[in-house]
Amino acid sequence: MPLSRFALHAAHTLLPLTILAAGCSSDPDLSADTGGGGAGSTGTGTGTSSSSSGGLDPNIKITTIAKIISPATAGAGMERTQCITVNLNNPEGVYALRFRSDLTTGSHHLIAYTSEKTVEEPEPKDCLPFSGILNGEHPIFIAQQPQAELVFPNDENGVPVGFEIKPNQMVKLEMHYVNTTNFPLDVMGKVSFDTVPLSTMVTKSDLAFWGTTQIDIPPNSAGDTGVLYQRALADTKTFALTTHQHQLGTEMLVWYGEGADDPNKMQVAGSKNWADPPLELFSPPLDFPADGAGMFSSKGLAFQCKWNNTTPNPVKFGEGYNDEMCFLWQYYFPSQGFQICLNGFCNTTP
């Protein structure tokens, strides 16, 4: 049974996340290859890539599909989350082998989801942060930096790994923006999918999202979660991982191993920069074998979040900029569906 809005309320509050750090260092140029798209509009661009294909196989024909969300001019101190739903206008199904994103200053996060809607909603409207997961939608890409890129690897047999996109796929783009400056900002985000035909031999990938809502940091005090642990889906491999905290976060650590107390667990991620956590890439990927433990492997990831609450108020889990979070998300293959695990309880949807 999919996680419901009620179930997430039971984990203290709604799941919405304010993923992205505010105050990016510079504005990327979003004017190239956008097919238009000014303030309050969307734009698309398609075509065969050339030098922009980066680490992709140069012998594979790459078609790029791009979409833009341009919510508005954000006044000083303004914080909002807005969404659009648009059609990728891809006449045939494809595999995405690379995701790219560009965010202007003030853009706090940009998330792309597949959507089951049949009618476009191209005008930005207010929505809950991370509302796609609440409504059973499937995240494709979560952008955390002004410019981000994820090139999918090859599997152990040399087969490209990719994410399947259905024909004429509807996608929802969610942008959370917060203007921490003293002047107005024009905020904009762009996401690009570098794709190949479904006739290409590809190993399907998906995303897993793990964390805790059990956060309670006393006023003017340090706090941490202790070391938590989540077993991974059996017979999967993780090739990319990143973490998320809010502004009171001082460190998030992630280890690969067989339990929170495993003396041989290996640290695979560690960020002391809540505003710009790195995207960790693993080559070879982290292996979670099927070893008779049912749907879950005997191996998984341990994680710990630390904070320093410099405010006079207690801080708990929540969706706002002044609340706190402790989450990691990871890309894995072969796909068993999108997985979300909160406080040790997991749900996987195709």
For the stretch 115-151, pLDDT in tens is 989 999 999 999 877 666 656 788 888 887 888 899 9
- Residue 296 has a pLDDT of 96
Per-residue pLDDT tens digits for 36-68: 333 333 343 333 333 334 456 677 789 999 999
Q: Provide mean pLDDT across the span 268-291.
A: 92
5-203 and 206-349: identical CATH topology: yes
Per-residue pLDDT tens digits for 153-208: 999 999 999 999 999 999 999 998 888 899 999 999 999 999 999 999 999 999 99
User: Residue 314, Cα to own-chain centre: how many angstroms?
Assistant: 28
Q: For residues 317 and 55, what is the distance between their CA atoms, to the nearest angstrom?
A: 38
Is the pLDDT at 34 greater than 50? The verdict is no
* Residue 51 dihedral angles phi and psi, to the nearest 5°: -65, -20
Within 10 angstroms of residue 182's Cβ, the number of other Cβ atoms is 7
- Residue 61 has a pLDDT of 84
Per-residue pLDDT tens digits for 67-125: 999 877 899 989 888 999 999 999 999 999 999 999 988 887 788 999 989 999 999 99
- Residue 137 has a pLDDT of 80
Give the E-state strand segments of 27-93 in sequence order. 44-48, 63-69, 73-74, 79-87
- Residue 145 has a pLDDT of 80
Contact 331, 150 (CB under 8 A): yes
- Residue 14 has a pLDDT of 28
Q: What is the value of pTM for the model shown?
A: 0.80
Query: In terms of DSSP H, where are the helices of the chain?
Result: 5-9, 131-134
- Residue 56 has a pLDDT of 62
**If you average pLDDT over every residue of the chain, what do you get?**
83
Is the pLDDT at 212 greater than 50? The verdict is yes
- Residue 32 has a pLDDT of 36
- Residue 320 has a pLDDT of 72
- Residue 159 has a pLDDT of 95
- Residue 293 has a pLDDT of 66
- Residue 341 has a pLDDT of 94
- Residue 38 has a pLDDT of 33
Is the pLDDT at 29 greater than 70? The verdict is no
Domain boundaries, the chain: 5-203, 206-349
**Closest to 43 measured CA to CA, from 19, 65, 15:** 65
Query: Class for domain 206-349, per CATH?
Result: mainly beta
Q: For residues 346 and 234, what is the distance between their CA atoms, to the nearest angstrom?
A: 13
Q: For residues 96 and 98, what is the distance between their CA atoms, to the nearest angstrom?
A: 6
Return the bridge partners of 208, or none: 330, 339
Is the pLDDT at 275 greater than 50? The verdict is yes
For domain 5-203, which architecture applies?
Answer: Sandwich (2.60)
Which range, of 22-26, 162-166, 188-192, 303-307, averages the lowest pLDDT?
22-26
Residue indicated by tokens 């035909």: 197
Which range, of 9-13, 39-43, 175-179, 331-335, averages the lowest pLDDT?
9-13
Question: Residue 344: left if φ>0, alpha if ψ -120 to 50, beta else—which one?
Answer: left
